[in-house]
């Protein structure tokens, strides 16, 4: 089919009208929800989904809701695509909370080098996490890797106290491994020790929804929750290098 100049003009006008319509609906949704549900503020983004008449409402960075074109109804939950059995909401949240490796504040981590240290990974761990202890034992089998260990005490005050003690030790790495591998606790942190790195780690984790430990991040940005074994770590390290 040959498109004439008139056809292109009509196509342009149609697209412009569609964009204006979507913009008006987004504005209406923001206005209605802002008035009726002020606890959702600020609304970061409103955008149409693949379902006609259903809109995604994103708040607080990565909290996802769904609404109709007028904002009269609000849905909280996961949206699935049944043909491929895909959780579209989860995929969207993962994309929004993806962590670029170079965005990590490595000065706030313990740096553990094994072998040539050529491969890199980061791990967020709580010192009272049993799965983390199991993961640490398996991680000893992985060579030629640099591990950036972010102390992430989220299991209570005792976790915070242990994390502070480890962070304030003369040899942080030894203190960490003594506790995680040999159940030897570090001496209590001195009152004047600067533990602000732990607060920054906690804030970072909240922002990027690190809700459990261990949480692994590889150089390509892939993120793996939970304690995986050495063989799985090797697989992810290989994939991260492309």
- Answer yes or no: same fold for 5-96 and 101-240: no
- The string of pLDDT tens digits covering residues 105-153 is 999 999 999 999 999 999 999 999 999 999 999 999 999 999 999 999 9
pTM, to two decimals: 0.73
Helices (H), the chain: 5-36, 88-96, 130-139, 157-167, 172-182, 196-207, 230-240
Mean pLDDT of 195-207: 95
* DSSP at 215: E
Per the structure block, which two tokens stand in for 190?
A: 């001195």
φ, ψ (nearest 5 deg) of residue 142: -95, 125
d(CA 88, CA 80) in angstroms, rounded, equals 6
Q: Assess whether pLDDT exceeds 70 at residue 2.
A: no
d(CA 137, CA 239) in angstroms, rounded, equals 22
Q: What is the mean pLDDT of the chain?
A: 90
Say yes or no: domain 101-240 is CATH 3.40.30.10: yes
Q: Assess whether pLDDT exceeds 90 at residue 42.
A: no
CATH classification number, 5-96, choose in 3.40.50.300, 3.10.450.70, 3.30.200.20, 3.90.76.10: 3.10.450.70
Residue from 29, 56, 59, 25 nearest 42 by CA: 59
Residue 10's pLDDT band, with cuts at 50, 70 and 90, is low
């Amino acid at each position: 089919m040959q498109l004439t100049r008139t056809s292109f003009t009509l196509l342009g006008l149609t697209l412009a009208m569609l964009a204006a319509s979507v913009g008006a609906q987004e504005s209406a949704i923001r206005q209605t929800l802002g008035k009726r549900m002020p606890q959702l503020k600020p609304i970061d983004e409103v955008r149409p989904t693949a379902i006609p008449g259903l809109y995604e409402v994103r708040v607080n960075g990565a909290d996802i809701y769904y609404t109709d074109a007028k904002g009269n109804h609000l849905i909280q939950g996961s949206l699935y695509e049944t043909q491929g059995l895909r959780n579209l909401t989860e995929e969207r949240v993962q994309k929004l909370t993806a962590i670029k490796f170079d965005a990590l504040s490595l000065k706030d981590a313990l740096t553990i080098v094994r072998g040539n240290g050529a491969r890199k990974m980061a791990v967020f761990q709580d010192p009272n996490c049993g799965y983390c202890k199991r993961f640490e034992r398996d991680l000893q089998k992985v060579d030629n890797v640099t591990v950036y260990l972010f102390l992430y005490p989220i299991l209570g005050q005792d976790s915070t106290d242990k994390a502070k003690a480890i962070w304030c030790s003369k040899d942080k790495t030894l203190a960490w491994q003594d506790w995680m591998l040999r159940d030897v606790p570090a001496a209590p942190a001195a009152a004047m020790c600067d533990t602000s790195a732990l607060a920054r780690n906690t804030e970072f984790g909240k922002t990027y929804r690190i809700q459990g430990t261990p949480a692994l991040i590889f150089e390509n940005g892939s993120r793996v929750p939970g304690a995986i074994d050495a063989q799985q770590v090797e697989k992810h390290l290989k994939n991260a290098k492309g």
